[in-house]
């Protein structure tokens, strides 16, 4: 694995990262990390490489867009002084425009998403040993769903930022798309946004592959 022994790894983001984690910081005990991909990653690391020595923390909060993340960036990211930061954000920024179209102030436009995210990354990248960025995703096999089309704009911006900020990129949408060729979307998520257990394992696998984890170690 490309992450150094004994690193402090912080995951943050929205409900998919949160997944019911403990407040104020999810850490250590498996269920304190939530029931999502973060806890799967921590468990797999421990079961496969019990001597990894890394410290894993989770400060995702359900319902967050980049706007809310910004407000708690100091407390929930900078103050924790991570060596590695793993960030997934964007589905709420985009989906609010479809789910609550009249409440315009709830939505974050792709441009605002890009600019806000860039400002956040700029504050922390220099002090990090590594950065992992996960694209937002929509678990729908149809390439024409309007929400999915719009979400591509956000993902595009995130990919650009990954290049500019030397991040490990996890293309979660591609990971889901591969499986969606064989399984209907209802098998991975009830609402196309929140993965079930299989979907979270799939995210964990994509993340671990991206950071060079050795499954047959």
Residues marked active site are found at 15, 191, 194
Mark residues 178-207: x for contact with a second copy by CB under 8 A, - for none: -x-xxxx-xx--xxx---xxxx-xx--x--
- Assigned token pair, 40: 């799967």
Minimum distance from CB of 37 to a second copy (Å)? 11
Q: Is 157 among the residues that bind a second copy (CB under 8 A)?
A: no
Q: Concatenated DSSP letters for 149-194? A: HHHHHHHHHHHHHHHHTTPEEE-HHHHHHHHHTTS-GGGTBSSSSS
Q: Which stretch binds a second copy (CB under 8 A): 65-73, 74-82, 116-124, 141-149?
A: 141-149
The closest alpha carbon to 64, from 26, 109, 96, belongs to 96
- Give CA–CA dist 139/53, Å, rounded: 34
Q: Is 22 among the residues that bind a second copy (CB under 8 A)?
A: no
Q: Is 95 among the residues that bind a second copy (CB under 8 A)?
A: yes
CA atoms within 13 A on the CB side of 154: 31
Binding residues vs a second copy (CB under 8 A): 6, 27-28, 30-31, 39, 43-44, 46-48, 50-51, 53-56, 95, 98-103, 140-142, 144-147, 179, 181-184, 186-187, 190-192, 196-199, 201-202, 205, 215-216
């Amino acid at each position: 694995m490309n992450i150094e022994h004994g690193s402090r790894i912080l995951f943050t983001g929205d409900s998919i990262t949160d997944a019911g984690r403990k407040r104020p910081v999810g850490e250590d005990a498996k269920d304190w990390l939530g029931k999502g991909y973060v806890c799967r990653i921590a468990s797999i690391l421990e079961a496969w490489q019990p001597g990894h020595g890394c410290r894993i923390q989770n400060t995702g909060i359900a319902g967050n867009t980049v706007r809310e993340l910004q407000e708690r960036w100091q407390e929930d990211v900078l103050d924790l002084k991570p060596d590695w930061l793993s960030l997934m954000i964007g589905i709420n920024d985009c989906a609010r425009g479809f789910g609550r179209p009249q409440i315009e102030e709830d939505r974050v436009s792709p441009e605002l998403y890009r600019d806000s995210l860039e400002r956040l990354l700029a504050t922390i990248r220099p002090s990090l040993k590594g950065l992992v960025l996960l694209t937002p995703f929509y678990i729908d096999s149809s390439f024409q769903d309007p929400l999915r089309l719009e979400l591509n704009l956000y993902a595009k911006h995130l990919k650009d930022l990954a290049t500019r900020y030397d991040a490990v990129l996890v293309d979660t949408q591609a990971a889901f798309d591969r499986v969606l060729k064989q399984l209907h979307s209802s098998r991975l998520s009830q609402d196309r946004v929140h993965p079930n257990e299989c979907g979270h394992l799939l995210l964990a696998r994509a993340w671990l592959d991206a950071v060079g984890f050795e499954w047959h170690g």
